[in-house]
Amino acid sequence: MTASKTEQDWWRGACLYEVYLRSFQDSDGDGEGDFAGVLRRMDYLAGLGIDGIWITPFFPSPMHDSGYDVADYRAVDPRFGTLDDFRAVTEAAQARGLKVVIDQVYSHSSHLHPWFVESASSRDNPKADWYVWADPKPDGSPPNNWLARFGGVAWEWNASRRQYYLHNFLVEQPDLNLHNPEVQEEILDTMDFWFDLGVDGLRLDVANFFMHDRALRDNPPTGAAEVPANPYYLQHRIYDRSRPENLPFLERMRARAGDRMLLAEISCDAQVERMAEYTAPGRLHTAYSFELLCPELDGAHIARSVETAGAGESWPTWAFSNHDVPRVATRWRPERVRLLQALLMCLRGTVILYQGEELGLPHSEVPRERLQDPEARRFWPNHRGRDGARTPMAWDNSPALGFSAAAETWLPAEAAHGPLAVAEQLGQQGSDLEHCRAVIALRAARPALRHGSFDTVEADGTGLTFRRRKGAEELICSFNFTGTRRALPVGAGARTLMGATEDAALPPYSYTIREVAA
C-alpha cells in the first residue's frame, strides 16, 4: 500500500527533538547515556507532543569528537548498547507515533576506521583514493593554505604514503574523498542499511563539506581588521567547502532516500542561501544552519532568514539551540524563554527543539579540568567550547539530576539545572515545560503554523510580527523582545490563541498568537 502524501511529507512543518544521546539518560551506571535510557524516557518524549526524535551519533568511535569520528558506520558502540537496543528504541518511538532520525557523518571518518587504515598503508591499495591525499610542495609544506575548523592547518603528514591527508576538523577525522564513485556508492549503501532498519530520516552532518576543490586552490583572505582566536575565520571558505560539485551527489542521495527525510546541517558563510540551494527540487528534503544559533536576538534577521531560506519550493529547518552552541536561555536571556519557545513553534519550516530547551535550561559552566570538547581545550580561555550545552539532562533535583547512578558522569551535572528539572516542572501550571508542551500542541493543531505562508508585518531589533496563512486560516504572531511595552501593530480584535490578550501593546518579553476572523 502506497503511503499518503501527508505521510510521505511528515517532516514538513514537524517538530523534532534532539536527543544528545551521551547526556540524555544513563541506564547502566557508567556515566554516559545509552539506548536503554532513551527507552526509559520514551513516554516523556511522546508526551511533549513532538513529531520525532533526532538521535546524535551512537556508532563505534574513539570519541575524539564525541562520536562524530566514526570508526564503523553500520554498528553500535557498546557504551550505548547493541543494534537490538537501537531497534527497540526505534520500535518504541514509532509505536508512539514518533519518527526516528539519526546522525550520519559522511564528510569524514575516524582515523581508526578500517577504510582509512588501509588507505594510509600505501598509494596502491584498493582504498588508496578513498580519502583526500596530496603531495607536499617542493619545500615539504602542505599543498595549500587550508585551515582546520578546530585549529591549525587542515593537512597531516603520513610517513607511509609520504603524502598529506586532508582533515577539515581534527587530525583524527580524515576527510573522505566523495569525488570517488566507490565512496559515493558505499555512502548510499550505508543509507540503505539504516533505512532497512526502519529509520525515518537522516541528519547529514556538515553536508556542505562533502566535496572539495580538486585543484586544491588556496582560499583567499577575508581581510579582517582583527585576528580572531581561531585563524580559521581569516579565510573565505571558497575551495574547501560548499562546492558546486556537491549538488549532483545530493541529488543521488535524495533519489536513494525517496520519502525518507534527509536533513542537512549547513555550516558556511551564505548559510540561508545554501539552505535554499540544497533543498531545491530534486535535492535534500530540508536543511538547517547556524543562522538562528547566533549571539543576538534580532527580529529583522529572523524574518529575512525565514524568507530567504524558504524561497520558492525550498523548505528550511530552524533551531535556537543545539549541542554546538551556548544554550538559548543564556544566549538570548532567560526572561525570554517562553517567548522563544512560542517564536520557534511559529516559524515557517521544520523546527528542532534541543533537549532541555523545553525546561529553559541555562548554559552550563564546565571546569577546565573536566572539558571534553577538543575545540574548548585548544582555545581555552578565549573560547569555552561546546561542553556547556552537552551536560546531563535534568530529570530531577538530585545531585546527578536523575541522569545517572555513577559517582562521576562524563560531563558534570549542572547544579543550576536541578530546580528546573522535569520532576519539578511536569504538571505544574505555568512552568516553562508545560508552556512548551502547549505551544507544540498549538503548532500541531494549526495548519497555518505547520504548513502556511510567512509574511513579515514588522521586524527590527526590538521585536517581530508576521502573518501565517493556510487556506482560510490566518494567524498573527507578534513578539516583544524588550523589557518595555511594545505597540501591537496588527491583531486588535482578533481571537487570542496563546499569549498576551491586550489589543494596544505587548507587555515586556511577551508574545501573542491570534486568529483573524475569516
Query: How many whole angstroms from its chain centre is CA 14?
Result: 14
Contacts of 210 (CB under 8 A, 6+ apart): 106, 107, 178, 246, 249, 250
- Whether 265 sits among the annotated catalytic residues: the reply is yes
Q: What b-and-e string marks burial along 231-259, b requiring 16 or more CB atoms within 10 Å of the CB?
A: ebebbebebbbbbeebbebbeebbeebee
* DSSP state letter for 266: E
Nearest to 283 by CA among 316, 252, 245: 252
Cβ atoms of 393 and 409 within 8 Å: the answer is no
Cβ atoms of 105 and 68 within 8 Å: the answer is yes
Cβ atoms of 201 and 260 within 8 Å: the answer is yes
Cβ atoms of 207 and 264 within 8 Å: the answer is yes
Decide the pairing of beta strands 463-470 and 453-460: antiparallel
Candidate list 51, 77, 200, 265, residue with the active-site label: 265
- Whether 135 sits among the annotated catalytic residues: the reply is no
CA distance 411 to 403: 11
Contacts of 355 (CB under 8 A, 6+ apart): 17, 18, 19, 20, 23, 24, 393
CA distance 52 to 46: 8
Which residue, chain included where needed, has cell 545517572? 404
Edge-to-edge, what's the strand order for the sheet holding 155-158?
Answer: 133-134, 163-166, 155-158
Burial class (CB in 10 A: 0-12, 13-18, 19+), 177: buried
Distance between terminal CA atoms of the chain?
38
DSSP string, 419-465: GGSHHHHTT-TT-HHHHHHHHHHHHHH-HHHHH-EEEEEEEETTEEE
Radius of gyration of the chain from its Cα atoms, rounded to whole angstroms: 23
Q: Look at the chain and count its residues.
A: 518
3-state helix, strand, coil in the chain (%, to 5): 30, 20, 50
C-alpha cell at 450: 505547520
**Cis before residue 326, ω within 30 degrees of 0?**
no
Q: What is the crossing angle of helices 299-309 and 271-278, to 10°? A: 30
Cβ atoms of 218 and 116 within 8 Å: the answer is no
Candidate list 26, 103, 205, 357, residue with the active-site label: 205
Residue 506 phi/psi, 5° resolution?
A: -95, 130
Which residues are part of the catalytic machinery? Answer: 205, 265
